Amino acid sequence: MSETLLDVKGMTCPLPVLRANRALRALEGGARLRVLATDRAAVADFQAFCRETGHALVAMSEDSGVYSFVIRKKETT
């Protein structure tokens, strides 16, 4: 399955989550969105966002101050 990339590096809370939410709305259920962010608060923000919306946070990593989040959009019924 392909992955959509969203680069929100340099943006601060709450913009990374807001942009990710907008991007996810345009995707089909089950699609993956990779978000690249530099805001340290994004770690807690994306965990809470996925918990509250039902999307799955399938991977999270950090490399040289860039955080990568892979979110799988929940299936719609």
Catalytic center residues? 13
Tell me the C-alpha distance between 64 and 27, whole Å.
29
Report the residue count for the chain.
77
Per-residue b or e along 34-54, where b marks 16 or more CB atoms closer than 10 Å to that residue's CB: bbbbbbeebeebbeebbeeee
